[in-house]
Amino acid sequence: MYVVAVSDVHSPRYFDLFERALSKVKWSEVSLMILAGDMILKGRIKEYDRVIKAIRRYYDGKIIGVFGNEEYEKLEPTLIEEYGGEILWLNDEDTYVKLDTGKVAIYGTRGILDIPTPWQRKHVPDITHKYLSRLDNLAKWLKKDSGGSLSLMVSHYAVTYKTMVGERERIWPMLGSKRVERLIAHSSLDVAIHGHVHKSKVLEASLGNTKVYNVALIARGELTKITLSTRKGLLEYL
């Protein structure tokens, strides 16, 4: 059994690619689906109707999601109200999911940028404080005892600069966070999943014992499949 993860469909922009990618997965072996943000384009909430309908043609199991920068913060209550029956949204919070291979501790967040974008600095009050607060929340979660469960983190923004290769280096601090990278590298986290980096040429990386996957659809051209085994066996990427 494996987890399927995807981000950056920006529906309707890459919806056709998303549909083709869905059709290529062996869904009878999927135990969990993760949506790592920017599934819709620029706040077009109703595109989630189309996204979910496409998924449900193949898969009727649990879906966990985080918000991306195009699921605008002001839309969070509406997204939770309208689609909370289909998607378990994790917004700087965690959950446990019981799968065939055992229990998995999952933490979800929009993520953290080392430098807020010019748009964020202009339009998002206290954005620097928000990132510091998210970083503190993440640090506390990473220190928690998972009770022997596998641990998995989902962030829309990149959790390492290693998977930013392919993007202009000068914008890396506005795509993700070195501070998050350092936290993860010194943790016992098993897997970190992120999106947001469209032009990535390095789609997987390691931070200490943690495997990192950029699951952006536009970077991969397909859904990302991660096989769950045991904690000792870690998670094997297919």
Which secondary-structure segment (H or E) carries 82?
helix 76-83
Strand partners, 171: none
Q: CB 194: neighbour CB atoms within 10 A?
A: 30
pLDDT score of 232: 46
Strand partners, 7: 216
Handedness of CA 118, 74, 192, 194 (dihedral sign): negative
pLDDT digits (tens, 9 = 90+) for 200-224: 999 999 999 999 999 999 999 999 9
Mean pLDDT in residue range 21-47: 98
Query: One-letter amino acid identity for 45?
Result: I
Structure tokens at 19: 């549909």
pLDDT digits (tens, 9 = 90+) for 111-138: 999 999 999 999 888 999 999 999 999 9
Name the H helices within 149-216: 178-185
Mean pLDDT in residue range 175-191: 97
pLDDT score of 102: 85
pTM above threshold 0.75:
yes
- Return all residues near 98 (Cβ < 8 A) that are at least 6 apart: 104
Q: Structural domain tally of the chain?
A: 1
Higher pLDDT pick, 235 / 23: 23
Q: Is the pLDDT of residue 35 over 50?
A: yes
What Cα–Cα distance (Å) separates residue 61 from each residue in 58, 67, 71, 97? 10, 20, 23, 12
Which structural domain range is residue 175 located in?
A: 2-237
Mean pLDDT in residue range 142-155: 89
Mean pLDDT in residue range 148-164: 96
Q: Is the pLDDT of residue 197 over 80?
A: yes
Tokens 């943000």 -> residue: 37
Tell me the CA end-to-end span of the chain in Å, nearest whole number: 11
Mean pLDDT in residue range 156-182: 99
Structure tokens at 11: 């529906």
Domain containing 145 — which CATH number? 3.60.21.10
- Return all residues near 202 (Cβ < 8 A) that are at least 6 apart: 162, 163, 164, 165, 166, 214
User: What is the band of 101 on the pLDDT scale with cuts at 50, 70, 90?
Assistant: confident
